[in-house]
C-alpha cells in the first residue's frame, strides 16, 4: 500500500523523538498501520544545529510553512510549540491545504481548539493531539473511544510533571520550594523560565483540552481557575503528611448544576487514593463515568520517548484510516457550557497561619470563621513562639463555600496577631 | 445516517447491562458514533425469566443461533459465555454470515483467538473484545492503538476481581481464605463454583488475550503457567506485610530470549509499586513500552456497568467505521512465539515453612539451599514452638532459577523437622 507521507515541523526534543521512533519502529508501524509511515520532509528554525537523528531521504524544507502546502505530504506533524506565530500559521495553512494535522501543542489547542476542530472537519482532515495532554498516556483516545459509552461527571489529574517532581522532591527531602526548583532546573526537569509550569498555566492548557474531550464541549481555557505551587512550603508538606494527605497540583474539571467547573491548584489529597502515589515526573488522569465508574491512567507526562509515542499513535490511526472527531462529536455539536464561578465552589480547606502566641488569638480566629459559618474539623499547633517569629497554626475546615472562605481569610489576615498572609490549600476527597 | 443494527445474544448481567446502556445513552452514542446504535433483536436461553430491561421494539429471537444470519442485523453481541457450545457456534455462524462480532467471552478467545481473528478478516468483519480483558478498562485499545508506536517487553496486571477482593479482605481483616471466600460468595463477588476464578483460570484466559494484543502473537492459552490463591494463608499475608510487600494474584507476560513467558500466580509485590494499592474488585494492567515506558491502567474489572461500557465502546468503533486488527496486525502475521519454560524462570522467592523447633533444623535448610546455589536474603522466625505444632520460619531468597527452587523445596519438604508442605510465593520486583 501507499505509504503515509509525513512532514515533521520542529526538530527539538519532541520532533527528533518522532523521527527516531518512526525510523526505529518502521517495521512494526507498517504492520500495525497496514502501510509504511514515511518521513518525507522536515523543517526547523535552525538547520545548522547538530541533530543526531536518522533523517534518511527526508528533504529539508527551509521555509517551515511550505510543509503545509507541499504536494508530497499527507500529514503535517507540528511540534514547534506556542499558541501563536509559526505553529499556529502552519496548522491553519496545513488544514486549509487539506493535510491531516498531528500536534503536541497544548497552548495552541487550549486557545483555538474548537475553531481548529471546525476547520479540520470542513476540510475533511484529521486534527489529532494525543500528545498534548499527559504525554505518553493515551487518555484522550481512552475517553473519546474506549469509554465512549459513558457520560463523565468529572475528570482530574496530575498534568504537569515539573510541579509533580518538585512537590515529590520537597516531600522526600524536606527541602523548600526554591531550592528544589533550582535543582530541577539544573537537571533539566524545569525550564530556565519555569513560570508556565509552576504557575499552573501548562496544566490549565491541558485541562481545558481534556475537559473538551470528556464533556464534548468547546475548549474554554480562559474559564480555568489557575493557581500554581510557588506558595507551597516545606511546612505545608509536613503538616499535610501529619494530617494524612499528600500535596499535589491537580487539574480538575466537572460538570454540575452551575456549569463546567475547571480549576488548577495545589490540593491536599488523602494518602489512600491512587493519585497520592503518582510521584516524580509521572502524570495521571482519573475519569468518572456513569457506567464504568472510576478509571485511572498513569504514565510519563513528558520527554522525547513518551511524547513521540503519542504523536506516532495518532499517525498510525491516520494511516489505518481510523478517524474520530477531535472533541468526540462534530464541532457544530460541541456544547458551550457556562463556566461555574469559583466563588460558588464548595470544599474543605487546609489553612496555615503564622501567629503570635498570645492570649485570645485562637478566639479571634474562630470567631471570624463562625461569622462566615465555616466550621473547623481539626486544629494543629506545635511548639510555642520564640521571640517575634510566631508559631504555625493549622486549621482544617469542613465544607465551605469559596466566597465565604475568601472573606474569612481576608479578615484573618488583618488580625494583628497574624504575622504572615494566611495560606489556604484546598482539600479534595476524590 | 443508517443506524447500526445490533443483536444481543445473552441477557444475563452483561447482556442486560448492554441493552440498558444502549437505551439510556442513545443520544450521546449517536452523537459520538455519527449514527444511532439500535438493538433490533435479542435472544437468550430462557425467555420467561423476568428482566427489567428496556427492550423497546427489539424482537425476541427464540433460536439464538438465528441472530447470526438475520438479515436485519449488522453486529452480533455475544455475551453468553463459555468456550464451547452456543457461544462458539454463534460467533462462528455470525462471522460466516458476514456480521461483525463483539464479545466479552474470554474463554472463547483464549481458546480460539487466532482462528477467529483469521476468519473475521477473511469475512471482512470486525472481531472486537475489549470487554474480555479487565472489564471496564479500555486497555486492549490502549495497547493496540494508543501505544502502537511501542514494542512491549512486558505486560502484567491484576485481572481477576474475585481473587483481588479475597486477598484485599484477608489483609484488611486478618481472616483466612475459606472464611473470606464464603463471605464473597454470600455477597455475590464469587461464584458458587469459584474454581475458575480462584484457581487462576479466568486470569489466564485474559492474560493469553492480553499477550496476543501486546506482542502481536497468536493466543496461546495452553502455555500459561497457572496457580491460584487457595494456598495463600493469613500467615503469608502477615509475613508479607512485615517484609514490605502485598500479596496479589498477578498475570504476567513477557518476551525474552527464551520466548514468551506467561504466568498467573500469587506474587509478593513491593508496597511502593502502584499495583500494590489496587484493592478490592478493581483490576489494573501495567505495560512497559520501549518509547513510552511504564503505563498503568486501573478500573473496575467486572460488573454490568463496566463490562457494558467496554462492549458499547466496541460498537461505537464499528458504527464510526474505526477498524483495527483483532491482535494488532493481520492474522497471518501473528507471531508464533515459543513458550519460555517455567523451569527457566529466574526470580526471588518467599518460602514459609512450619518446623519443629529443634537444634539443627536451620542448618539442614540452609545446606539444601546452598546445594542448589540459592542464597538467602532474609529470614524471619517469631516465637518458639508449643508442643508439636512447630513454628513458622520464613525465608526470602535472592534470585534463583525455578528448577533449582523446586528441587530445594522438594528436599526441604522431606526433612523430618518440616511438618507441613513448604509454601513458596514468588516475589516480583516490578
Contact A32 B328 (CB under 8 A): yes
List the grid coordinates of A191.
525550564
- Please say whether the dihedral angle defined by the alpha carbons of residues A141, A144, A149 and A153, taken in this order, is positive or negative: positive
Rg of chain A in Å (alpha carbons): 24
Helix (H, G, I), strand (E, B) or coil at B123: helix
Contact A297 B300 (CB under 8 A): no
Q: Are the C-beta atoms of B295 and B141 separated by less than 8 Å?
A: no
CA dist., res. B337 & res. B88, Å (int): 25
Across chain B, mean pLDDT equals 95
CB atoms within 10 A of CB A241: 14
Rg of chain B in Å (alpha carbons): 24
Helix (H, G, I), strand (E, B) or coil at B12: coil
Strands A346-355 and A400-401: antiparallel
Q: State the average pLDDT over residues B233-250.
A: 96
Closest-CA residue in chain A for B23?
A149
Sheet with A4-9: list strands edge to edge: A59-60, A37-43, A4-9, A75-78, A100-103, A127-128
DSSP letters spanning A211-256: HHHHHTB---GGG-EE--STT--HHHHHHHHHTTEEEEEEEEEEEE
> What's the first-to-final CA gap in chain A, in angstroms?
48
**18-47 in chain B: CB under 8 A from chain A:** 21, 25, 28-29, 31-34
- CA dihedral of A248, A251, A256, A258, whole degrees rounded to 10: 100
List the grid coordinates of B168.
484485599
Contact A149 B317 (CB under 8 A): no
Residue with cell 523437622: B417
pLDDT score, position B3:
98
Q: B322 CB near a chain A CB, below 8 Å?
A: yes
Question: Is it the case that residue A386 has pLDDT exceeding 70?
Answer: no
Q: Indicate the pLDDT class of residue A47, thresholds 50, 70 and 90.
A: confident
| pLDDT tens by residue, B373-401 | 999 999 998 777 666 778 999 999 999 99
Q: Which of A99, A141, A206, A248 is catalytic?
A: A206
3-state DSSP of A248-267:
EEEEEEEEECCEEEEEEEEE
Instruction: Show the CA angle centred on residue B295, arms to residues B396 and A206, nearest 5°.
Output: 145
Q: Indicate the pLDDT class of residue A328, thresholds 50, 70 and 90.
A: very high
Question: Is it the case that residue A166 has pLDDT exceeding 70?
Answer: yes
pLDDT score, position A429:
87
Q: Which residues in chain A have their CB less than 8 angstroms from residue B296's CB?
A: 296-299
Task: Please state the pTM of the whole predicted model.
Answer: 0.96
- Helix, strand, coil tally for chain A in percent (to 5): 40, 25, 35
pLDDT score, position B187:
87
Helix (H, G, I), strand (E, B) or coil at B72: coil
pLDDT score, position B156:
98
Contact A330 B151 (CB under 8 A): no
Contact A298 B296 (CB under 8 A): yes
Interface test with B, best of A292, A293, A313, A329 (most B CBs within 10 A): A292
Q: Which of B147, B296, B298 sits opposite A309 (nearest CB)?
A: B147
Contact A151 B321 (CB under 8 A): no
Q: Are the C-beta atoms of B75 and B6 separated by less than 8 Å?
A: yes
User: Cα dist. A299→A95, A374, B19 in Å?
Assistant: 31, 38, 34
Q: A333 CB near a chain B CB, below 8 Å?
A: yes
Q: Which of B106, B206, B222, B373 is catalytic?
A: B206
Helix (H, G, I), strand (E, B) or coil at B416: coil
Q: State the average pLDDT over residues A353-365.
A: 87
Q: Which residues in chain B have their CB less than 8 angstroms from residue A28's CB?
A: 151, 216
User: Cα dist. B313→A149, A150, B317 in Å?
Assistant: 6, 9, 6
Question: Is it the case that residue B50 has pLDDT exceeding 70?
Answer: no
CA dist., res. A140 & res. A327, Å (int): 9
pLDDT score, position B53:
85
- Helix, strand, coil tally for chain B in percent (to 5): 40, 25, 35
| Closest CA–CA distance from residue B150 to any residue of chain A (Å) | 7
List the grid coordinates of B7.
443483536
Q: Which residues in chain B have their CB less than 8 angstroms from residue A130's CB?
A: 146
Contact A294 B300 (CB under 8 A): yes
**119-138 in chain A: CB under 8 A from chain B:** 130, 136-138
Instruction: Please state at what angle helix B86-96 crosses helix B106-123, rounded to 10 degrees.
Output: 10
pLDDT score, position B397:
97
CA dist., res. B361 & res. B382, Å (int): 15
% chain B with pLDDT above 90: 88
Spatial neighbors of B313 by CB under 8 A, at least 6 apart, are A145, A146, A147, A148, A149, B130, B138, B141
CA dist., res. A334 & res. A118, Å (int): 10
Closest to B130 in 3D by CA, of B142, B120, B148, B122: B142
Closest to A44 in 3D by CA, of A9, A92, A79: A9
Q: State the average pLDDT over residues A315-327.
A: 98
pLDDT score, position B290:
98
Q: Indicate the pLDDT class of residue B86, thresholds 50, 70 and 90.
A: very high
Q: Indicate the pLDDT class of residue A388, thresholds 50, 70 and 90.
A: confident
List the grid coordinates of B96.
460466516
Contact B149 A21 (CB under 8 A): yes
Chain centroid offset of residue B306 CA: 15
Structure letter (DSSP) for residue B418:
B
List the grid coordinates of B122.
477473511
**367-426 in chain B: CB under 8 A from chain A:** none
Per DSSP, which regions of B225-289 are E strands?
Answer: 225-226, 245-256, 259-270, 282-289
Strand-pair partners of B60: B42
| pLDDT tens by residue, A333-354 | 999 999 999 999 999 999 999 9
pLDDT score, position A272:
87
Per DSSP, which regions of B148-306 are E strands?
Answer: 152-158, 225-226, 245-256, 259-270, 282-289, 293-300
CA dist., res. A430 & res. A262, Å (int): 15
CA dist., res. B66 & res. B44, Å (int): 11
Closest-CA residue in chain A for B295?
A299
Structure letter (DSSP) for residue A418:
B
Residue with cell 475547571: A262
Structure letter (DSSP) for residue B133:
S
Question: Is it the case that residue B305 has pLDDT exceeding 90?
Answer: yes
Q: Indicate the pLDDT class of residue A385, thresholds 50, 70 and 90.
A: low
**181-220 in chain A: CB under 8 A from chain B:** 216
Q: State the average pLDDT over residues A213-237.
A: 97
User: Cα dist. B83→B90, B111, B220, B223 in Å?
Assistant: 11, 7, 14, 17
Strands B59-60 and A423-427: unpaired
Across chain A, mean pLDDT equals 95
Buried b (16+ CB within 10 A) or exposed e, A162-192: bbbbbbbbbbeeeeebeebbebbeeeebbee
Question: Is it the case that residue B286 has pLDDT exceeding 80?
Answer: yes
Contact B292 A312 (CB under 8 A): no
List the grid coordinates of A358.
498570645
Q: Are the C-beta atoms of B313 and A148 separated by less than 8 Å?
A: yes
pLDDT score, position A50:
63
Spatial neighbors of A354 by CB under 8 A, at least 6 apart, are A389, A390, A391, A392, A393, A418, A419, A420
Q: Which of A31, A146, A277 sits opposite B274 (nearest CB)?
A: A277
Closest-CA residue in chain B for A149?
B309
Q: State the average pLDDT over residues A221-225.
A: 98
Pairs of residues, one from chain A and one from chain B, whose beta carbons lie less than 8 Å apart: 192
| pLDDT tens by residue, B166-220 | 999 999 999 999 999 999 999 888 888 899 999 999 999 999 999 999 999 999 9
Question: Is it the case that residue B55 has pLDDT exceeding 70?
Answer: yes
Contact B150 A299 (CB under 8 A): no
CB atoms within 10 A of CB A56: 12
Q: Is the ipTM of this complex over 0.90?
A: yes
Strands B423-427 and B4-9: unpaired
pLDDT score, position A191:
85
% chain A with pLDDT above 90: 89
Q: Which of A25, A147, A272 sits opposite B309 (nearest CB)?
A: A147
| Closest CA–CA distance from residue B362 to any residue of chain A (Å) | 39
Q: State the average pLDDT over residues B236-257.
A: 96
> Is A373 one of the annotated active-site residues of the chain?
no
Question: Is it the case that residue A400 has pLDDT exceeding 70?
Answer: yes
**149-178 in chain A: CB under 8 A from chain B:** 149-151
Q: B283 CB near a chain A CB, below 8 Å?
A: no
Q: Which residues in chain A have their CB less than 8 angstroms from residue B316's CB?
A: 145, 148-149
Contact B130 A146 (CB under 8 A): yes
Strand-pair partners of A418: A355
Q: How many residues does chain B have?
A: 430
DSSP letters spanning A328-373: SS-GGG-B-PPBPPGGG-EEEEEEEEEE---TTHHHHHHHHHHHTT
Amino acid at each position: 500500500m501507499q505509504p503515509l507521507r509525513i512532514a515533521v515541523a520542529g526538530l527539538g526534543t519532541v520532533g527528533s523523538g518522532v523521527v527516531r521512533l518512526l525510523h526505529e519502529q518502521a517495521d512494526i508501524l507498517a504492520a500495525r498501520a497496514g502501510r509504511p509511515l514515511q518521513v518525507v520532509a522536515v523543517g526547523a528554525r535552525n538547520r545548522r544545529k547538530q541533530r543526531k537523528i536518522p533523517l534518511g531521504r527526508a528533504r529539508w524544507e527551509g521555509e517551515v510553512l511550505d510543509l503545509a502546502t507541499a504536494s508530497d505530504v499527507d500529514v503535517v506533524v507540528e511540534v514547534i510549540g506556542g499558541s501563536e506565530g509559526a505553529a499556529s500559521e502552519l496548522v491553519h495553512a496545513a488544514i486549509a491545504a487539506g493535510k491531516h494535522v498531528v500536534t503536541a501543542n497544548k497552548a495552541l489547542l487550549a486557545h483555538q481548539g474548537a475553531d481548529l476542530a471546525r476547520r479540520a472537519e470542513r476540510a475533511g482532515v484529521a486534527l489529532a493531539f494525543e500528545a498534548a495532554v499527559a504525554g505518553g498516556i493515551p487518555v484522550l483516545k481512552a475517553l473519546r473511544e474506549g469509554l465512549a459509552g459513558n457520560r463523565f461527571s468529572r475528570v482530574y489529574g496530575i498534568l504537569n510533571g515539573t510541579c509533580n517532581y518538585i512537590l515529590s522532591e520537597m516531600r522526600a527531602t524536606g527541602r523548600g520550594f526554591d531550592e528544589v526548583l533550582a535543582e530541577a532546573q539544573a537537571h533539566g526537569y524545569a525550564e530556565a523560565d519555569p513560570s508556565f509550569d509552576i504557575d499552573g498555566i501548562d496544566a490549565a492548557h491541558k485541562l481545558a483540552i481534556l475537559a473538551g474531550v470528556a464533556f464534548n464541549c468547546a475548549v474554554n481555557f480562559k474559564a480555568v481557575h489557575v493557581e500554581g505551587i510557588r506558595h507551597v512550603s516545606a511546612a505545608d508538606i509536613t503538616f499535610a503528611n501529619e494530617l494524612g494527605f499528600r500535596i499535589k497540583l491537580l487539574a480538575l474539571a466537572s460538570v454540575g448544576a452551575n456549569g463546567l467547573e475547571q480549576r488548577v491548584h495545589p490540593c491536599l489529597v488523602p494518602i489512600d487514593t491512587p493519585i497520592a502515589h503518582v510521584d516524580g515526573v509521572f502524570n495521571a488522569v482519573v475519569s468518572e463515568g456513569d457506567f464504568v465508574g472510576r478509571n485511572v491512567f498513569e504514565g510519563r507526562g513528558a520527554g522525547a520517548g513518551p511524547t513521540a509515542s503519542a504523536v506516532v499513535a495518532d499517525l498510525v490511526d491516520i494511516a489505518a484510516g481510523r478517524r474520530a472527531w477531535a472533541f468526540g462529536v462534530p464541532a457544530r455539536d460541541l456544547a458551550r457550557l457556562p463556566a461555574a464561578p469559583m466563588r460558588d465552589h464548595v470544599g474543605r480547606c487546609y489553612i496555615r497561619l503564622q501567629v503570635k502566641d498570645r492570649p485570645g488569638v485562637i478566639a479571634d480566629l474562630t470567631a471570624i470563621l463562625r461569622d462566615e459559618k465555616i466550621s473547623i474539623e481539626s486544629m494543629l499547633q506545635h511548639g510555642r513562639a520564640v521571640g517575634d517569629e510566631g508559631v504555625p497554626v493549622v486549621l482544617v475546615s469542613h465544607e465551605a463555600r469559596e466566597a465565604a472562605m475568601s472573606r474569612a481569610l481576608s479578615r484573618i489576615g488583618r488580625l494583628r496577631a497574624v504575622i504572615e498572609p494566611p495560606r489556604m490549600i484546598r482539600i479534595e476527597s476524590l
